Amino acid sequence: MKKNRYKNKTEKVVKPNIFLKPVLIILLLCLANFILIYVYDFTMQSRYFTIKKIKIIGNNRVVSKEIMGLAKIKKTDNLLSINLNLLEKRIANHPWVKDALVKRNLPSTLLININEEIPLALVKIDNIAEIIINHNGTPFKEYNPEIDKVDNLPVITGLVLTKYDNDYLFKGQLLNSVLKVLTINEFGKIYSIKADKNMGISILTFDQENQVLMKLGFNNFKNKALKAKQIKNYFKNHMANKEICTFDLYDPENVFVKSKDKDALHNLTKGGA
């Protein structure tokens, strides 16, 4: 019997080209990249996304013209080509701008929301300059009476401007004490504050038209304000002919008060002796 010569013969298998799949993947990636570049160029040059309106809100002190100058944009720019982070940083370079938020409103409007600094007081540095600080005690602008409308802000003396990293700031116990005093409404209208590293805080207030000096020390300001208010009411009800001119509230348990006779003050204003 003859052997089957085909029985153990290995069948020939056709294998696919191992390089074909990677080549196809590369071609597809190139095609997708080309399409993305085309779409990007089309949108960046499309008139459909040209800025037609720039809306600025939140600016009370800073005029829109100044903001536009800092932003360096114009209505012919493409809205999608604007770098929002860079734009926000440029606008925040204005001393009166605390921060800015810029958004796109497709297809053609740019929204700029301004958050301005709120002035708290003027800090006088010797006789060199006056610096405006915000409610955190952070200096943000040198005061210019010709352009800065900050009337009736209290004037602070005695604070020291110190360099921290790349900024000049007010720091320390005296600043913290000043900020606490300025939050207490019971003191009334504060005209000026003197900070002294040895004696603490002294303030000059107005009681109607009468100036009142209050020596407060370093702490417990709320209780001292209430104590001064009680003494004022007592004078008003029982010593109406007297005007308080000085409070020494360094120790609220032992308050010293200096007063003047209203009649004498009246005569002095009239030119009397």
CATH value at residue 163: 3.40.50.11690
Same domain, 89 and 143: no
Q: Is the four-CA dihedral 264, 267, 271, 273 of positive or negative sign?
A: negative
Last residue of a domain, one of 116, 134, 150: 116
Give me the DSSP letters along 221-267.
HHHHHHHHHHHHHHHHHH-TTEEEEEEE-SSTTS-EEEEEEHHHHHH
Q: Please state the φ and ψ torsions of residue 250, each to the nearest 5 degrees.
A: -55, -40
Per-residue confidence (pLDDT) for residue 265, from 0 to 100? 36
Last residue of a domain, one of 71, 87, 116: 116
Is 185 inside a domain boundary? yes
List helix spans (H) across 46-108: 64-71, 84-91
Same domain, 105 and 126: no
Q: Is the four-CA dihedral 145, 57, 55, 91 of positive or negative sign?
A: positive
Q: Mind listing the pLDDT tens digit for each residue in 207-238? A: 767 889 999 999 999 999 999 999 989 988 99
Same domain, 184 and 242: yes
Per-residue confidence (pLDDT) for residue 271, from 0 to 100? 39
Same domain, 139 and 239: yes
Same domain, 151 and 231: yes
Last residue of a domain, one of 94, 116, 138: 116
Per-residue confidence (pLDDT) for residue 7, from 0 to 100? 52
Is 7 inside a domain boundary? no
Is 37 inside a domain boundary? no
Tokens of 273: 């002796």
Is 250 inside a domain boundary? yes
Same domain, 187 and 109: no
Same domain, 104 and 146: no
Q: How many structural domains does the chain have?
A: 2
Is 10 inside a domain boundary? no
Question: Residue 207, SS3?
Answer: strand
pTM: 0.78
Is 191 inside a domain boundary? yes
Is 190 inside a domain boundary? yes
Same domain, 143 and 254: yes
CA angle 192-197-201, nearest 5°? 30
Q: Mind listing the pLDDT tens digit for each residue in 73-105? A: 887 888 988 899 999 999 999 999 999 999 999
Domain around 136: 121-269
First to last CA, the chain: 156
Same domain, 138 and 159: yes
Alpha-carbon gap, residue 171 to 242, rounded angstroms? 40
Same domain, 83 and 182: no
Same domain, 226 and 166: yes
Is 134 inside a domain boundary? yes
CATH label of the domain that carries residue 70: 3.10.20.310
- For the chain, list residues with pLDDT below 50: 6, 38, 263-273
Same domain, 237 and 172: yes
